[in-house]
Each structure stands twice: as C-alpha cells, then as structure tokens.
Amino acid sequence: MLKSITVFCGSSLDAPEKYALAAEEAGRVIASQGRKLIYGSSSMGLMGRVARGARNAGGYVIAVNVELFRDIPYKMETDEYMVESDMQTRKVKLIDLGEGCIALPGGLGTLDEVTEVLCLNQIGVTDKAVGLLNVDGYFDGFLLQLRRAVQDRLMPQADLDRLQVADNIEELLQKMDAMKS
C-alpha cells in the first residue's frame, strides 16, 4: 500500500460543488486508509476541501507552500507545514514526498504537476504511481490528447499504461497500489 499520497488540484473558489465533494471524499478516504496526505497548502477551493476531508477523518496532513504565498492567509492547520523558495522547488517537494501522486480537477498548475510526474517517470528520474481522479469526465480531453500522442508515436504506450484513471477514489487507490506491488 502506498503510504503517502500527493494530491494536485485547484484552489479556485468557483469550482463546481461536485469537484469539491470529490476532493473532500478523496481526503477522507486517504486518511481513513492510514495514508498521509501531501498537498499544496491552501485552504481555498479543492485544496482546502481535500485537506479538510483528511483532517476531519483524523489523517496526517503535510502542506507544502511557496515563499510567494507565505503571508497570504489561506493556510490551514496541518501536521507539517513547509515553505519552498519558488514554485518549481515546491513542485519537486510535493512529488518527492508522496509515494503516489493523484490529480483532481484543476487548472494549469494541476496539469503542470501531473505532467511533470509523468515526464519524470518516463525518463527514469522517479517511479511514482500516478492517477487521475476523473470526476464527471473532467480529464477526458487530457486523456484523448495522451492517446493521440501514442497514436502518432510521440509517446510510448507504456507511459500511458502507467497512468491510472478512475472516477472514484477507492478504485483509483486500489489501481495505484496494484501498480506498486
């Protein structure tokens, strides 16, 4: 079983409630299964909901912030709180701390983070389990693009096969655990 899960997701306050509920459930399930949650430190949007879900279930939560946002009052009470010098260093820390990485719905930052993990896996720098929580088909377009890259021989099928996808957190964690066992 993966003992620590990094969750990448949006911090927008305007995200649909279905994504917020899925984020909260993801945090709750991660915690209830005895896994640590690592996330980007905001109390806003889906980030806040995933952390609250884990905290409310008695989970261990690690927040990784960036110096640029240190004084913005959007942080939550967590078990560990880290501040990195810049966004790139923060992303590396988030990836390093988790045995697996999951993307929930989010914007450019979320897509950047999950794509970074896939790239690092591809070139052998790391070997992380990677998953997409595909709430209401949110990542369907992204997956279509990845399949096109495979079809056009711009990416090996093996790289796509490493990416686990599910529309519920329990199934996604099971798939990711199976990949690492």
Structure tokens at 59: 């989970």
Please tell me whether residue 39 adopts helix, strand or coil conformation: strand
* Structural class in CATH, domain 4-180: alpha beta
* pLDDT tens digit sequence for 48-96: 999 999 999 999 999 999 998 887 766 788 999 999 999 999 999 999 9
- The first and second tokens of residue 13, run together, are 């306050």
The predicted structure's pLDDT at residue 140: 98
Q: How far apart are CA 127 and CA 136, in angstroms?
A: 28
Measured between its terminal Cα atoms, the distance across the chain in Å is 8
pLDDT in tens, 100-150: 999 999 999 999 999 999 999 999 999 999 999 999 999 999 999 999 999
C-beta separation of 169 from 178 below 8 A: no
**pLDDT tens string 87-110:** 999 999 999 999 999 999 999 999
CA dihedral defined by 73, 79, 88, 136, rounded to 10 degrees? -80
3-state secondary structure of 59: coil
Whole-model pTM: value is 0.96
Domain ranges of the chain: 4-180
